Amino acid sequence: MKEYKFSEIESKWQKEWEEQKIFKTENKDENRENYYLLEMFPYPSGKIHMGHVRNYSIGDVIARYKKMNGYNVLHPIGWDSFGLPAENAAIQNGVDPKKWTLENIESMKKQLKKLGFSYDWDREIATCKEDYYKWNQWIFTKLYEKGLVYKKKSYVNWCDSCKTVLANEQVEDGKCWRCGNEVHQKDLEQWFFKITDYAEELLEGHKELKGNWPDKVIAMQKNWIGKSYGTEVNFKLENSDIDVPVFTTRVDTIFGVTYMVLAPEHPLVEEILKENKDIKEKVYKMRNEDKISRTAENSEKTGVFSGKYVINPVNNEKVPLWIGNYVLMDYGTGAVMAVPTHDERDFQFAKKYNLKLKIVITPEEDEINKDEMTEAYIKKGILINSGEFNGLKNREAISKIADYIEKKGYGKKTTNYRLKDWLISRQRYWGTPIPAIYCEKCGVVMEKEENLPVRLPSDVEFTGTGNPLETSNEYKNVVCPKCGGKARRETDTMDTFVDSSWYYLRYTDSKNSSIPFEKEIVDGWVPVDQYIGGIEHAVMHLLYSRFFHKLLRDLGLLSSDEPFKKLLTQGMVLGPSYHCPDCKKYYYASEVEEGNRCKTCGKDLKIKVEKMSKSKNNGVDPNHIIAEYGADTARLFTLFAAPPEKELEWNEKSLAGAFRFLNRVWRIVLENKEHVNIGNKIEIDVKKLNKDDKNLMKKLNQTIKKVTESMEDNFHFNTAIAAIMELVNEMYLYKNSIFDNKKESNIWREVIEKLVILVSPFVPHIADELWEEAGFKGFVYEEKWPISNEEFLVEDEVNVAFQVNGKLRDAATVAKEIGREELKELALNSDKVKKYTDGKNILKVIVVPNKIVNIVVK
């Protein structure tokens, strides 16, 4: 028997597939319905990691499965290839970011190809290439015309280490999402996309996605958009006509306001600072703190009295006006009516600065005393100290007081969104140039369509101190497209999330050079039927793409409302990390010796199973696995060890187990291939089969059923593979009893044929090799997915219970067609039954065929 030489087999079939172009997809196939399967495209870091292997293996199984189920499958891949690492490599090692990126793409492409994924490589895209980013610019200018892109000066998140601004979505717990550095605020002029115009539609769209997207992702987006219903109330600045509106969701507490707080960035604060210069320093300090920690529940609240007062319209009370760090300018109106008795943040602030407390909600039974309060009373209750509203339940009071305020003209009911416009300018080189030009005469002018793309220049310096684009005079100094006068080009580039917001559309028509994509083609594929990727993109990529999809729809470029019909978020890949808490060092598993002690200090190492990452030195290199066991084993391991949405724990033993299983499949096929009746396929008649044949056919059809069901049930590959393993066990049992005489068998042919098809989406290389060895023609990829034959699933034996006076005493497995009399005899002659009937009077024997025989005795 031939040995299972995986590396030979794998490269052989990869070559065949590529040469025969079996994964090439036409945009239309008269006989097949379109199915678009997409995995999130990789950043070309240079090396694939286990996360990629997992993500792309899951996708590949689905793509192959859908193809075999009769669909015209689109399964593309490309590169999210703009971004900081390339630029950092330029700064640190002087390499050209473009060269660095393209080389990485080449080497990662080789690695991906080694895994045998069924991509249509003809549709490959790279966002850093001109033929892609040209369309970012084109879209940008179109959106600018519609007023959906604008430039604004504002306080923005700034990361000192990445030397660029960040969108709110890209700040996590006050830190940069990329590098983990503390983010602080800078007052800068920046470009924004008007995502807030779509806030309501983005929320509304969740209804369509519910059930097809993980609840968690929908909840995260909902929370991020943060719609809240409330009231805007105008407080007047004392002795002036100036209105200072506040936004509150708790207008029921308005009689309890004891002070007001302005965000340090509030426009009124500038006016105040002109008169009251002493507080300037404090205010500037607050502006510099990062927004996220400023509003955190448990962070230190600081503030300063402005010297001014405002008047509460509902009771004409005069309350002091403060400036405080816990109020943000970009939420609501940037001003808060403070009710320390019923809001915890206000309470902490009031306690710190000795501000007044006034209770306006009291629990129904109890009573609270403001001098004894240690925290705000935030539960429900009855209104007190609230004029004509006293005695109302506070929840009801919200709408009553809001109505009253509207009637009196003090304010209006409003909704507010936490979502802010998407800040897309980046002060970096390696991204899409923003196609804007500043003319001394005409102001902001967009580059003309025929001049696109605005190309990234190569005469730039990477010093690590500023935007490299500023160093290219040729790039910066241009003539105005409108008047021909002297003008300056925008040197900001676009957030790379712009690139990834519409790449899935470009795949459908990736070579179009006159428009981003043809509408008819895109509409034939989109929405993507199944999208697969990491949950970390829940409020960045997945929200931006939904927004972009709607933008492009409104530009008339496509017809659908949502980009991704179904979403699967795969779990993380975990591995054990070895950490010495004293030396603060993470060891590679290979460095750790018996006993798990630190090599330097001898301390016990802390072992933790956690997400594989460079910083923890607990990653496993897929290239090693492929070299040692082959791509099929690597794929099988990741698919078998856990269902796709769950975490996957790296385990060398399971990897070896996957390899052993493939060898088992290899042997059962190759050792018995002469029994495969490869001639004309003959129908198998269930009635003419002997017991062993029948058994095997039953197992086969059960397996087909189980595997298919597991695929359809949220792609539970692990249970599918487990079922195939059982079938293989059964085949080994069968072969031992059957193949003593050398004959060709239809049954064996049937089982081998179906087995190979069933394993093929998971382990496609070995499948094609076995297919060929067994004598079948063509590629397994082009076969039809089998359907289980009900005829073989019919149970022909049943279990019958024998009871004496209704108590179970024995049971027997009998043929289904057994007669009543025969069944009765069987029961009466059972030794176990006899124990209870001997010496007794048998009054009655009740026979329920296929179920029970009950003997009534006395």
Residues that bind ligand ANZ (CB under 6 A): 228, 247-250, 253, 263, 295, 327-328, 331-332, 334, 336-337, 339, 342-343, 416
| The pair of three-digit structure tokens given for residue 31, joined into one six-digit string | 């006989």
CB of 312 to ligand ANZ, least distance (A): 12
The contact pattern for Zn ion, residues 427-446, with x = CB under 5 A and - = no contact, is: ------------x-xx----
Location of structure tokens 């219903």 = 229
Query: Taken in order 829, 830, 832, 837, is the CA torsion positive or negative?
Result: negative
Identity of the residue, 250 or 287, whose beta carbon is nearer to ligand ANZ in the bound complex: 250
Count the neighbouring beta carbons within 10 Å of the beta carbon of residue 680.
6
Query: Which residue's entry shows tokens 């049943």?
Result: 798
DSSP 129: S
Q: Is 480 in the site for Zn ion (CB under 5 A)?
A: yes
- Name which of 222 and 553 has its Cβ closer to ligand ANZ: 222
Does 273 engage in binding with Zn ion (CB under 5 A)?
no
Strand order in the sheet with 422-423: 164-166, 149-159, 183-193, 422-423
With CB cut-offs between 5 and 8 Å by kind, which of Zn ion, ligand ANZ, none does residue 306 bind? none
CB of 537 to ligand ANZ, least distance (A): 24
Smallest separation, CB 254 to ligand ANZ (Å) = 8
Q: Give the distance from CA 138 to its chain's centroid.
A: 28
**Whole-angstrom distance, CA of residue 733 vs CA of residue 574:** 37
Residue number, 250 or 541, with CB nearest to ligand ANZ: 250
Residue 247 binds what, of ligand ANZ, Zn ion, none (CB under 5 to 8 Å, by partner type)?
A: ligand ANZ
Interacting partner of 92 out of ligand ANZ, Zn ion, none (Cβ under 5 to 8 A depending on kind): none
End-to-end Cα, the chain, rounded Å? 68
Contacts of 644 (CB under 8 A, 6+ apart): 58, 532, 568, 570, 571, 714, 715, 716, 717
Query: Counting contacts by CB under 5 A, is residue 110 touching Zn ion?
Result: no
Residue 344 or 554: the one with the smaller Cβ distance to ligand ANZ is 344
Q: Shortest Cβ distance from residue 485 to Zn ion (Å)?
A: 5
Rounded CA-CA distance 743/760 in Å is: 27
Report the partner that residue 646 touches, choosing among ligand ANZ, Zn ion, none (CB closer than 5 to 8 A by kind).
Answer: none
Whole-number minimum distance, CB 256 to ligand ANZ, in Å?
8
Residue 442 contact partner, candidates ligand ANZ, Zn ion, none, CB within 5 to 8 A by sort of partner: Zn ion
CB 469 within 8 A of CB 520: no
Using CB under 5 A, which of the segments 305-313, 484-492, 525-533, 746-754 binds Zn ion? Answer: 484-492
Question: Which residues have a Cβ under 8 Å from the Cβ of 828 and sit 6 or more positions away?
Answer: 834, 837, 842, 845, 855
One residue of 12, 482, 597, 735 binding Zn ion per CB under 5 A: 482
The verdict on 99 binding Zn ion (CB under 5 A) reads: no
Hey, what amino acid is at 514?
Answer: S
CB of 378 closer than 8 Å to CB of 343: yes
CB of 286 to ligand ANZ, least distance (A): 12
Find out whether 508 and 526 touch, Cβ atoms under 8 Å: yes
Do 306 and 324 form a contact (C-beta atoms < 8 A)? no
Q: Which is nearer to ligand ANZ, 164 or 248 (CB)?
A: 248
Q: Please classify residue 167 by burial: count the beta carbons closer than 10 Å to its beta carbon, then call 0-12 exposed, 13-18 middle and 19+ buried.
A: buried
- Taking CB under 5 A as the criterion, the residue among 1, 479, 483, 787 binding Zn ion is 483
Of 423, 447, 424, 444, nearest in space to 435 by CA: 447
Q: Is residue 7 left, alpha or beta, with left meaning phi > 0 and alpha meaning psi from -120 to 50?
A: alpha
Q: Are 857 and 843 a contacting pair, CB within 8 Å? A: yes
Q: Is beta strand 259-262 parallel, antiparallel or unpaired with respect to 318-324?
A: parallel
Residue 413 interacts with which of Zn ion, ligand ANZ, none, CB < 5 to 8 Å by class: none
552 makes contact, choosing from Zn ion, ligand ANZ, none, with CB < 5 to 8 Å by partner type, with: none
SS3 percent helix, strand, coil of the chain, rounded to 5, is: 40, 20, 35
134 binds, among ligand ANZ, Zn ion, none (CB under 5 to 8 A by kind): none
CB of 315 to ligand ANZ, least distance (A): 15
What is the smallest separation between the CB atom of 238 and ligand ANZ, expressed in angstroms?
20
The pairing of beta strand 259-262 with beta strand 335-338: antiparallel
Going 364 to 369 to 374 to 376, the CA torsion angle's sign is positive
How many chain residues interact with Zn ion (CB under 5 A)? 7
- Choose the contact partner of 439 out of Zn ion, ligand ANZ, none; CB within 5 to 8 A by kind: Zn ion
Q: Nearest distance from residue 158's CB to ligand ANZ, in Å? A: 20
603 marked as binding residue: no
Name the residue nearer to ligand ANZ (CB basis): 383 or 721: 383
Q: Taking the complex as a whole, how short is the minimal distance between the CB of residue 442 and Zn ion, in angstroms?
A: 3
With contact defined as beta carbons under 8 Å apart, do 712 and 644 qualify?
no
Query: How far is Cα 762 from Cα 710, in angstroms, rounded to an integer?
Result: 13
Which of the listed partners (Zn ion, ligand ANZ, none) does 324 bind, with a CB threshold of 5 to 8 Å by partner kind? none
Query: Residue 157 or 416: which CB sits closer to ligand ANZ?
Result: 416
Binding site for Zn ion (CB under 5 A): 439, 441-442, 480, 482-483, 485
Which residue ranges make up the annotated binding site?
A: 614
Which residue ranges make up the annotated binding site for ATP?
A: 614
